[in-house]
Structure formats: structure tokens, C-alpha cells
């Protein structure tokens, strides 16, 4: 049996004097799409920051690919896409990706591969600041993918995208997982859960369930993840 890509144990994080992650235990399996779902403010971004190794933690441990979160050896192996755009507005799409390719010491072929993966080939010569919000999000995603990371931490990558683009991106995530990449994808849109192999359901800094979408529906006797979330939240499950 392979070890999980990410192991989190007893994680406690305080921000602004408040406990925002309250003793989380979880595992993220290799080569799967794991959805991190929960209402706005429940702590999804904070958990992703802790796994990326950029969050000060009060206690607990976070291990990524067998190393403590944020280890230098994992720098190329772990990609983190934040909610804020991480690309340069005054460069074209292609210039941005060429720049990130040089930083990661990968070849020109990776620029072409990620451009086509996020379907931005036609926009390659456009200035990033002149793109729509959804197109800009896809440039950030392409930049995150350029070094062929083993683990991708994606904080709300589909926010603000139209249904067709959202579906296409979830297909892309599924394809990456099939090729062995481990993805953690946060969303507050519950119907995105069905695109995931495993769902982590969070509420107010706690993990209320970790299961497949079908497992969650069966365990709660509900027809969709939104109802499953409500059943778990009202049942006070921890």
C-alpha cells in the first residue's frame, strides 16, 4: 500500500487571535482528486496554506511526500495556486509561462503542454491584464502546472468560471490524477463534490467527513452533497 501524499495530524492554527483550524486529522491519497469543501470562512484556505508550508501553525504536524510541509526538497514537487493571481499582468500569457518555465528549469515543451492543457493557445499573445478573470485564473493554473508537480494545491480554481470552463477544468484535474498527480482542490460550491474521488467536508475549522461522494450520500441517506453537508452539520458530527 502506498503512503498518502499528505498527512495532517492534530493541526491547530490560530489567526487574528481566533482558532481557525481546531485539531484536524486527515490524509490525502496519491493520484486522486480530493475536494476540500465547506462554507466560506470555514478554514479551507488556511488548511491549504498549512499544507503548502506558508502558514504558522500552533500545533500538530503536516507531512507532504514524506517531508515536513514547506521543505526545500519539495519545492518543485508541490505546486500551490492561491486565490490571488500569481502572474504578471504586463506580460503576455506566453511570456508569463516562459518565465515560470525558466524559473523551474523546464523546457519550452512544457509551455506548449500547459497552454494546451488549460486551453489558452489562442490567447498566448494577449497581455494577461487584458484577459477575463477566468482566463487569468487559467494562466495561474498553467503556471502552477509548469514544473510537472506531484502534488497540486489549488485554492478555488474554478471560482467565477462559467459552467463549461468549470467542467473542462475538472476534466483536466481528473486527467492529471490519472497520470499520477495528487490534487487538492478547494471549492465552496457543493455540486463540485461529484467531480472528486474523495471529499473532505469542513465546517468551522473542523473536518466533519472524509469519504467518496457516493459514500457521503450513503452514510447520510441524502441525494446530494449539499444535503449531506446539512445532515452532518445538523447532526453535530465531528
Ligand X SMILES: Nc1ncnc2c1ncn2[C@@H]1O[C@H](COP(=O)(O)OP(=O)(O)OP(=O)(O)O)[C@@H](O)[C@H]1O
Tell me the window of 12-20, 56-64, 116-124, 161-169 that interacts with ligand X (CB under 6 A).
12-20
Q: CB 144 → ligand X: shortest distance, Å?
A: 17
Q: CB 3 → ligand X: shortest distance, Å?
A: 26
In the complex with ligand X, the residue whose CB is nearer, 7 or 22, is 22
Q: CB 156 → ligand X: shortest distance, Å?
A: 6
Residue 214: C-alpha distances to residues 62, 151, 210 (Å): 28, 24, 11
30-49 residues near ligand X, rule: CB under 6 A = 38, 40-46
Spatial distance between the Cα atoms of 235 and 238, rounded to a whole number of angstroms: 9
DSSP assignment letter at 222: -
| Residues facing residue 7 across a β-bridge | 27, 63
Of all residues in the shown chain, the one whose CB is closest to ligand X is 16
Residue 206: C-alpha distances to residues 96, 148, 198, 232 (Å): 37, 31, 17, 12
In the complex with ligand X, the residue whose CB is nearer, 40 or 179, is 40
Strand, coil or helix: 134: helix
In the complex with ligand X, the residue whose CB is nearer, 127 or 159, is 159
All three cell numbers of 211? 469519504
All three cell numbers of 234? 445538523
Spatial distance between the Cα atoms of 24 and 80, rounded to a whole number of angstroms: 20
Q: Determine the size of the site formed for ligand X (CB under 6 A).
A: 12
Spatial distance between the Cα atoms of 94 and 193, rounded to a whole number of angstroms: 32
In the complex with ligand X, the residue whose CB is nearer, 130 or 191, is 191
Binding mask 161-200 for ligand X (x = CB under 6 A): ---------------------------x------------
Q: Which residues contact 176 (CB under 8 A, 6 or more apart)?
A: 145, 152, 183
Q: CB 48 → ligand X: shortest distance, Å?
A: 8
Q: CB 44 → ligand X: shortest distance, Å?
A: 4
Residue 107 · residue 101 · CB < 8 Å: yes
Q: Which residues contact 73 (CB under 8 A, 6 or more apart)?
A: 67
In the complex with ligand X, the residue whose CB is nearer, 45 or 135, is 45
Can residue 20 be called a binding residue for ligand X (CB under 6 A)? yes
Tell me the window of 13-21, 122-130, 146-154, 212-220 that interacts with ligand X (CB under 6 A).
13-21
In the complex with ligand X, the residue whose CB is nearer, 55 or 123, is 55
In the complex with ligand X, the residue whose CB is nearer, 82 or 126, is 82
Residue 169 · residue 157 · CB < 8 Å: yes
Binding site for ligand X (CB under 6 A): 15-16, 20, 38, 40-46, 188
Amino acid at each position: 500500500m502506498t503512503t498518502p501524499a499528505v498527512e495532517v495530524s492534530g493541526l491547530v492554527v490560530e489567526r487574528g487571535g481566533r482558532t481557525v483550524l481546531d485539531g484536524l486529522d486527515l490524509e490525502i491519497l496519491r493520484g486522486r482528486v480530493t475536494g476540500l469543501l465547506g462554507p466560506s470562512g470555514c478554514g479551507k484556505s488556511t488548511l491549504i496554506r498549512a499544507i503548502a508550508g506558508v502558514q504558522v501553525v500552533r500545533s500538530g504536524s503536516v507531512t507532504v511526500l514524506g517531508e515536513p510541509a514547506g521543505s526545500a526538497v519539495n519545492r518543485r514537487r508541490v505546486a500551490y495556486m492561491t486565490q490571488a493571481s500569481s502572474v504578471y499582468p504586463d506580460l503576455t500569457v506566453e511570456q508569463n509561462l516562459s518565465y515560470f518555465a525558466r524559473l523551474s528549469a523546464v523546457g519550452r515543451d512544457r509551455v506548449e503542454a500547459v497552454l494546451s492543457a488549460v486551453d489558452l493557445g489562442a490567447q498566448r499573445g494577449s497581455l494577461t491584464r487584458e484577459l477575463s478573470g477566468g482566463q487569468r485564473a487559467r494562466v495561474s493554473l498553467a503556471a502552477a502546472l509548469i514544473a510537472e508537480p506531484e502534488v497540486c494545491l489549488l485554492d478555488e480554481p474554478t471560482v467565477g468560471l462559467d459552467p463549461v470552463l468549470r467542467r473542462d477544468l475538472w476534466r483536466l484535474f481528473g486527467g492529471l490524477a490519472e497520470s499520477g498527480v495528487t490534487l487538492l482542490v478547494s471549492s465552496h460550491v457543493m455540486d463540485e463534490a461529484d467531480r472528486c474521488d474523495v471529499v473532505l467536508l469542513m465546517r468551522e475549522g473542523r473536518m466533519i467527513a472524509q469519504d467518496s461522494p457516493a459514500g457521503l450520500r450513503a452514510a447520510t441517506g441524502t441525494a446530494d452533497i449539499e444535503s449531506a453537508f446539512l445532515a452532518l452539520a445538523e447532526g453535530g458530527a465531528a
